[in-house]
Structure 1
Amino acid sequence: MNDYRMKRRILVIHYSQSGQLSEVLRNFVKPLAASEDIELQQVSLQPRTDYPFPWPFLRFFDTFPETVYLDPPELNPLGLDENDRFDLIILGYQVWFLSPSLPTTAFLQSAIAHSLLRDTPVVTVITCRDMWLLAQEQTKQLLTACRAQLVGNVVLIDEAGSIGSFLATPIWMMTGKKGPRLGGLIPRAGVKEEQILGCQRFGERIERVLRENLPIDRTLLRNLNAVKVNTKLITTEH
């Protein structure tokens, strides 16, 4: 008997300015990359005019208006066929000024995104300082416009917390150094290493769901502690 099975196809697409999100996704997809039954394709978004890291002070603040207004930059070609179909798309993005990063916005507003995402399950993976709800609502609207099916969300926030990251994260963005600084008065920026390594559990769940031909729906990441909502920050974001 022929035991041949068609491979399940997963697309991972993201933009990582500092490299942290790339590291998160590398750990996330390790179980998927190791599976012989999964074809994993990974694409990094490349703006025509890239956003440097560290981020120069004036350009950091100059990026604010177009980010908030979701004014997309031009992207280089993704190297994907608009007729490609995937069983799951993993979309990783950073939060800039309470909005999805501009390369993410550019992708979601593109014609190829509308083709690739249509009727396709999507998991979003967010790295951010602490506030992400508004950015995710904007991303949901863009995904809905693409007729995508959002089935899960993973959020990793900076270990410094709301108060500590208020200074730590911008300093990291503009110097390239995470810290800590001033004897720990300004804590270390970025996501904890243990959180990054722990992302493999999401890939393990997805691999099992695909291997067992289970539905890819909103139960996909259930009970994996993928998201923690800080209710104290909800009014702050709005």
Structure 2
Amino acid sequence: MRILLTEDDPQLGRATQIGLEQAGYAVDWVQSAEHAHTAVRLHDYGCILLDLGLPGQDGMQALHALRKAGYGGAILIVTARDKIPERIAGLDGGADDFIVKPFDLDELAARIRSASRRAAGRLREELVHGDLVLDVAARQVTQAGKPVALTSREFGVLLTLVENSGRVLSREQLEHQLYSWGEEVESNAVQVHIHHLRKKLGRTLIRTVHAVGYCIDKPAPEAGA
């Protein structure tokens, strides 16, 4: 999943970006609400981490503007403001959660997963697709009950395809979910990840649609369902 981090403190912003990237996320970091609005217009984010104390437009104003513009993903307010009325205003204003600085990165990652799960309409942290089970929190996969070792990028590709089962995703769409700004991406990176996934999970799981992209078909309905 690709995350937009808004944080005007350079040290905290960089530390948060690095920590979340190590947890398997692609993270774009901006330091103002103006840049956040531009990023959201240009990219598809599964979650926005929104600081309230931004220069220029206040974070609460940014929150209202993002929702008014139609952003439907998860928004977590990340701020040093810890007054109950501010928490209530943020949640009532369209935020999915509220975490106070300083925070633990593991807790932040858990809150991101929880808010993103709710935004996607999922109740559990596991995704089941046929004989595949994806544990999103642990970033682990089992197939027919047996663990399958995947790299972080391979897991990201598989998760994105399973979450969008039945849809064909282009190489560019998959890259968009895997890599943040400034990362060098080999032209065949996605193809390599797909190749490795097919070796580990079977060649029929991921279907290539010529000149379009890749797809994991929806599981066939069970007999009698």
> Does the TM-score normalized on the shorter chain lie above 0.5?
no
TM-score bracket, shorter-length normalisation: 0.3 to 0.5
Q: Greater RCO between the two (CA within 8 Å, min separation 6)?
A: 1
Output the TM-score relative to the length of structure 1.
Answer: 0.36
Output the TM-score relative to the length of structure 2.
Answer: 0.38
